Amino acid sequence: MKRLLCILLALAMSAGLFTACGGGETITSGGGGPAVEATPEPTPEPYDANVLTGYEKTADYAEGQRITAVMVNNITQCRPQRGLSEADMLFEIKVEGGITRFMALFTGYNNIPDIGPIRSARDQFFRLVLPWQ
């Protein structure tokens, strides 16, 4: 009885295998419209950014020049300062006695406006601009 049951089970499995894998007909989904071809993604152009601002370089970008840093006094007797709004990047750094100084960074030395009052640099200013050489 067990032998007969095993033979019937093997025949049923083989019959199911052969009928399930038959493949004469194709099944399509949807309205049967034209096939959509994949279009290749365009490769983006490399973004050439200003080293200080991150914005795209303009036509007057000083290519090949190092950045220029100018120290500006920030005590109340020296206000208002000139040229700080033209800087590409501006740092306010604490120095001795609780006073601060501005360090205005410009992309090129040809584009520096009238700026002042100018002060001396400290060690921490040089270390701050070291990544830009």
Neighbours of 118 (CB within 10 A): 13
The answer to whether residue 5 sits within a structural domain is no
Query: Tens of pLDDT along 2-15?
Result: 888 788 888 888 77
The answer to whether residue 127 sits within a structural domain is yes
Please provide the average confidence, as pLDDT, over all residues in the chain. Answer: 79
The answer to whether residue 44 sits within a structural domain is no
Looking at residue 45, the DSSP 8-state letter turns out to be: P
Q: Confirm if 82 and 132 have CB atoms less than 8 A apart.
A: no
The answer to whether residue 124 sits within a structural domain is yes
Q: Kindly state the helix (H) or strand (E) to which residue 127 belongs, with its residue range.
A: helix 123-129
What confidence tier does 51 reach under pLDDT thresholds 50, 70, 90? confident
The answer to whether residue 4 sits within a structural domain is no
> For the chain, how many structural domains are there in total?
1
Place of tokens 């100084």: 101
Range of the domain at 80: 68-132
Task: Say if residue 60's pLDDT is above 80.
Answer: no
SS3 3: helix
The answer to whether residue 117 sits within a structural domain is yes
The answer to whether residue 14 sits within a structural domain is no
What confidence tier does 125 reach under pLDDT thresholds 50, 70, 90? confident
**In sequence order, which residues have a C-beta less than 8 Å from that of residue 129 and are 6 or more positions away?**
67, 69, 103, 105
Q: Confirm if 36 and 101 have CB atoms less than 8 A apart.
A: no
**Going by DSSP bridges, is the β-strand pair 68-73/100-106 parallel, antiparallel, or unpaired?**
antiparallel
The answer to whether residue 99 sits within a structural domain is yes
* CA separation for the pair 83, 105 (Å, rounded): 11
